[in-house]
Amino acid sequence: MHVKKINLIGFRNLKEQVVELADGLNLLVGNNGQGKTNFLEAVYLMATLRSFKSSSVRDVIRFGEDEAEVSGEIASREVPVKLRVRLKGSVRKLWVGQRSIHSAREFLGRLRVVAFTPDDLAMIKGGPSLRRKFLDRAAFLFDSQHLARVKNFNHALKSRNRLLKERKRADRDLIDSFSQAMAEDGARVSKTRLEVLRRLRGETERIVEEMIPEMSAVSVSFEPGWYIGADGSKDSLLEQIRSNLEQDLRRGQTCLGPQQDDFEISMGQNSARRFASQGQQRTVAVALLLAVVREVVADGGARPVILLDDVSSELDAARRKILFEQVVDLGGQVLITTTDEGMVADLRERKIWKFIVDDGRIEPEREK
Ligand SMILES: Nc1ncnc2c1ncn2[C@@H]1O[C@H](COP(=O)(O)OP(=O)(O)OP(=O)(O)O)[C@@H](O)[C@H]1O
Ligand SMILES: [Mg+2]
């Protein structure tokens, strides 16, 4: 699967334009602040209907304007399809081909994208929310309803927390209705995260071994924010949230649930978070990314489009080379952004389509 053409109107700092991409390695080069990440975000938006930079998708509308539109021609093994997303204020309109689509459910899943940003590189060292974000994006590739469930869950959690802050004055019936709403989607969210990590585990451990042979055996384990047990049912989650109410009221927030889900990487007996070097941690993150792509392909799905936003500068030359080689060898379409072409020198022997990103304009470099 690949994006053949993308048409941008009013999207962040990007000029109104049509960009034709190659089914292979596309390299976007430009200085800071020119629009490289924004361009990847536009592709990401068509795949997920979300932004990977902001929590509100409305942020993509150009400053001072009230409308943005991204559309793209997607080529795949099946029939090619045209996807179009228009945002006007907080209203979103979707089309597949000429047909107007009224539910996200029907729209999602036609373009599969694996995105990797410097935030993901920091996920081992950083807070659990980065790891959850990574897992959720991976989960979305196997279950296109996952992100919608996460959103519903977070909404219920926020409302419940707002009430808990009122402590003694809090309306317990209302709190309970949000507990129910949390359990409704939350149980499934945690279970999906668990399943996805299970899928990625073996592959990740193998890839780390290839990339850092000197690192002792790496293992990946899920740490749910509640007792999932054998069935991980919503009833069980609800019961756990309810039985924690007094503590939650004292603390003014919901202490237990999927919002605390996390995963741990260990090297031998030690936690990678605490003992691995920076570079080793980044390598583990890269391995997780590669595992996602391999698993998606193994799942029989079309090759996802891979978006690598500026990750190269944070890896050493040897690791960078392995990352690029592996990504390219997976085949399919890859979009890589960088400020420094030197970073991708290893790719010189490969066929590359290069684009210059300058002040919101994306121009293919003329053949030399
Ligand atoms: N809604 C918006 N409307 C207009 N401009 C925006 C909007 N959101 C972000 N920008 C601007 O877009 C510009 C480019 O951002 P982007 O993150 O794509 O840069 P980049 O090329 O990836 O840079 P870097 O190399 O620093 O990562 C920034 O100057 C930013 O202020
Ligand atoms: Mg950027």
Pairing of strands 91-96, 99-101: antiparallel
pLDDT at 311: 81
338 C-beta closer than 6 A to ligand 1: no
CATH number for position 2: 3.40.50.300
Predicted confidence (pLDDT) at residue 73 exceeds the cutoff of 90: yes
**Stated length of the chain:** 368
Task: Give dist(CA 38, CA 347) in Å, integer.
Answer: 23
Q: Which ligand 1 atom minimizes the distance to the CA of 31?
A: 25
Query: Across residues 125-154, what is the average pLDDT?
Result: 93
Distance 155 CA to ligand 1 centre (A): 28
Task: Give dist(CA 143, CA 297) in Å, integer.
Answer: 14
pLDDT of 268-314, one tens digit each?
889 998 988 888 898 899 899 999 989 988 887 778 999 999 887 77
pLDDT at 191: 97
pLDDT at 349: 76
* Cα Rg of the chain (Å, integer): 21
Encoded tokens for 221:
């384990």
320-331 b/e (C-beta count within 10 Å ≥ 16 → b) = bebbbebbbebe
pLDDT at 121: 85
pLDDT at 190: 97
Residue 94 lies in a domain: yes
pLDDT at 30: 96
What's the predicted TM-score (pTM) here? Answer: 0.89
Distance 54 CA to ligand 2 centre (A): 13
Cα–Cα nearest to 226, from 201, 198, 191: 191
pLDDT at 101: 96
For ligand 1, atom 26, name the residue with the nearest CA.
32
Residue 123 lies in a domain: no
Categorize the per-residue pLDDT at 367 as very low, low, confident or very high, splitting at 50, 70 and 90. Answer: low
Mean pLDDT across the chain: 92
Residue 183 lies in a domain: no
Categorize the per-residue pLDDT at 343 as very low, low, confident or very high, splitting at 50, 70 and 90. Answer: confident
Name the closest ligand to CA 12. Answer: 1
Categorize the per-residue pLDDT at 184 as very low, low, confident or very high, splitting at 50, 70 and 90. Answer: very high
Distance 361 CA to ligand 1 centre (A): 12
The answer to whether 95 and 88 are in contact (CB under 8 A) is no
pLDDT of 90-109, one tens digit each?
899 999 999 999 999 899 98
In the sheet that holds 113-116, the strands lie side by side as 113-116, 305-309, 334-338, 25-29, 352-358, 361-364
The answer to whether 25 and 349 are in contact (CB under 8 A) is no
Residue 54 lies in a domain: yes
How many domains would you assign to the chain?
A: 1
Residue 128 lies in a domain: no
pLDDT at 31: 96
Task: Give dist(CA 136, CA 119) in Å, integer.
Answer: 14
Domain ranges, residue 94: 1-111+338-368
Residue 200 lies in a domain: no
| Mutation pick for ligand 1 pocket among 37, 338, 356 (CB with most ligand atoms within 8 Å) | 37
Residue 314 lies in a domain: no
pLDDT at 325: 85
Residue 24 lies in a domain: yes
pLDDT of 217-269, one tens digit each?
889 999 999 999 888 899 999 999 999 999 999 999 999 999 999 999 998 88
